[in-house]
Chain A
Amino acid sequence: MTLLRRYGTLLALALIVAVFAVASPGAFGTVANLVNITQQMSLLAIVAIGATLVMVVGEFDLSVSAVVSFAGIAAVSLFGAGHGIAAVFALVVIAALAMGTVSGFLVARFAVPSFIATLAFGTVIGGLTFWISDGATLFSGIPPAFRDLGRGTVLGLPVPTLWLIGTAVIAWLLLDATEFGRRLYAIGGNREAARLVGLPVRRDMIIAFALSAGLAALAGLLLAARLGSAHPTGGGGYLLSAYAAVFLGMTAFREGEPSVPGTLVGAAIIAVVSNGLTILGVPSFLQDLMTGAIILAAVLVRQLGRAGD
């Protein structure tokens, strides 16, 4: 029973995979498809890992989807202006870090609720994205080498999966094995106590927001590379899914704390359910019903387990 309470979400993921594998062994249960799922979850998981960093300090960053859209549009626009891949990558990520810094500053310095600050600033970023793109989907001028950053395989693993592995390892080490990470958890646990013991609360919160935006930009760049195009609202689907992944992850491994491994499990559940239901030919409205039900069930099981402690 303790095992179920502690690792219930992880077991749920294993069970969902097992059910789909039995229902569709020829398509879902293949190694190729399971590897493909890691590719499909990669961008969502990268955005969700960024959201995790902000949630660790007890805040929300609702501008992540706007930053994803911005990054793709900005990148393709910069390619059109003749810039190289490295310069575009650097410029876009730096711009996103600056955006995250502004959000973090508004929250940490002026105590603006993060819901409002990031929603408002996300709207500003969305406007900027439309202004740059003139509202159009951008296709032209994307170098083939840039596209290779979001597609293809290396050593049998999809390139986006490798980006996810790299991001997850760095973020996990950052949160669990560095003083900075422990400070973030301390701020999230009790901000006033963290301030009283002399932790640089404002600075660390701003860094968390900046990293969140930076990771959203990375996902946006990879999305543009994967699709070979950039859409001014291309990141719209990531906001709710990313937070669903973080919340699902909070029911795994730790006592209600956001964590990188937990977020990975959450993102994997979302990706597996979408993939499996599509392969089984379940219509999309039914997929929504079942996805929502699975997320609710996973969270409820955890809550009920805790209530029984």
Chain B
Amino acid sequence: MRAPLIALAFAGLLATASAASAVDIAVLTPYQSSVATNQMIKVFEEKAKTAGWNATVVDTRGDMGQLASRIEDVTAAKVGAIVLVSVDPKQIQDQVSAAAAAGIPVVAIDGATAPGVMLNVTSDNFELGTKLSDFLFDKLGHKGNIVKFYYSAHPGVHQRELALDAALKTNPDIKVIAEHYMVVPGPIDDARKTTEDLLKSKGDQIDAVWAAWDEPAIGAQLAIEADKPDSKIIVAGIDGNPQAVELIKSCSHIKGTVSQDFDAMAGLAADGLTKILAGEKPEKAELYAPAKLITPETLGVTCP
């Protein structure tokens, strides 16, 4: 028992000592295993390093109760600022309000505006969902059957789903013949398995896969590549995930992704936090990072 405890104490003291001269920034998320979230955190950490901040990342793996507790902890530790990534602050409103009341600035990346949150940098998720749906429906000639991979628990991802619902209303010849609520963490494998099953049961009817983000799209692509490589099924997602972009470039079944500029989001958040720590108030409570559609054509690739 003694050795681990000494190690524990040593690590703790080291962390405390290293933090003594820099502003402590607590970066908290329930979804660090998501590629997009991880990317935002990495970019923010780099920005923090450049700014001379001491950023510590805490991931609660989808557990909101733990997230609430960890926000209470960093509030008790009187950190310089709290950065919430990929979570709607309203889901932990009491803790966010308590941090704000303690004078700790709270900034959200890919989150939402909420009382106590000084700045949220995100994409317009409804617009992302609309762009994805319009792209896919145009490719299908506004007629066909689609499979929907969705995850309503994430408020931003839910907005994309609502955008699909709106687009379906104006495209009555597009039918959702199957839908699947994603398992998170592990969406690629979940989408792969589900698509394998759907290919067996409805393979001839599926024209396209609408994925609320790129990881399910990648899973669907893996299944189609393995089981029905010659099919004309089109897959599209959202995020501009590097793996998805590579698959678009290689002329796979993924034909498009609506790219969110996560680097820009993290950068805008770091810039905003710099101003906040200097005592300034952000000009707007919410900033949108630009989004663009990535296709083989935009990548300069001609697919057969």
Residues on A close to B: CB < 8 A? 8, 12, 15-16, 19-20, 22-24, 26-28, 30, 32-33, 36, 40, 43, 130, 134-137, 139, 151, 223, 226-229, 231-234, 236-237, 271, 274-287, 290, 293-294, 297-298, 301
Contact = CB atoms under 8 A, between A and B. Distances in A.
Contacts of B72: 36, 40
Interface stretch (B89-97, B130-138, B189-197, B239-247): B89-97
Contacts of B141: none
A227 B9 contact: no
Interface stretch (B73-81, B120-128, B164-172, B280-288): B73-81
Contacts of B303: none
Contact residues of B: prevailing secondary structure: helix
Interface in B261-284: none
B153 A24 contact: no
Contacts of B7: 290, 293
A237 B60 contact: yes
Given A134-B152, A283-B56, A274 B94 contact: no
Contacts of B76: 27-28, 30, 32-33, 36, 279
B93 A283 contact: no
Nearest to A235: B65
Interface in B10-28: 11-13, 15-16, 19, 24, 26
B62 A233 contact: yes
Given A137-B91, A280-B15, A280-B16, A234 B64 contact: yes
Contacts of A134: 152
Contact of B1 (A226, A227, A298): A298
B158 interface: yes
| 6 closest cross-chain pairs (CB), A and B | A237-B63, A278-B73, A136-B152, A280-B12, A23-B12, A40-B69
B65 A229 contact: no
B4 A293 contact: yes
Contact residues of A: prevailing secondary structure: helix
Given A137-B152, A137-B153, A234-B64, 5 more contacts: A22-B9, A135-B150, A227-B91, A274-B70, A294-B5
Contacts of A23: 9, 12-13, 16
A297 B65 contact: no
B11 A227 contact: no
Interface string B170-204: 00000000000100000000000000000000000
Sorting the interface of chain B by its residue count into under 10, 10 to 19, 20 to 34 or 35 or more gives 35 or more
A227 B65 contact: yes
A27 B77 contact: yes
Contacts of A28: 76
26 contacts: A12-B1, A20-B12, A22-B9, A23-B9, A23-B16, A30-B76, A36-B76, A136-B152, A137-B88, A227-B68, A227-B91, A227-B94, A229-B91, A231-B64, A231-B153, A233-B62, A274-B66, A274-B73, A277-B8, A278-B74, A281-B26, A284-B59, A290-B8, A294-B4, A297-B1, A297-B4
A270 to B, nearest CB: 11
Interface in B65-118: 65-66, 68-70, 72-74, 76-78, 88, 90-94
A43 B66 CA distance: 11
Given A40-B69, A226-B68, A282 B15 contact: yes
B300 to A, nearest CB: 38
Contact of A282 (B11, B60, B64, B65): B11
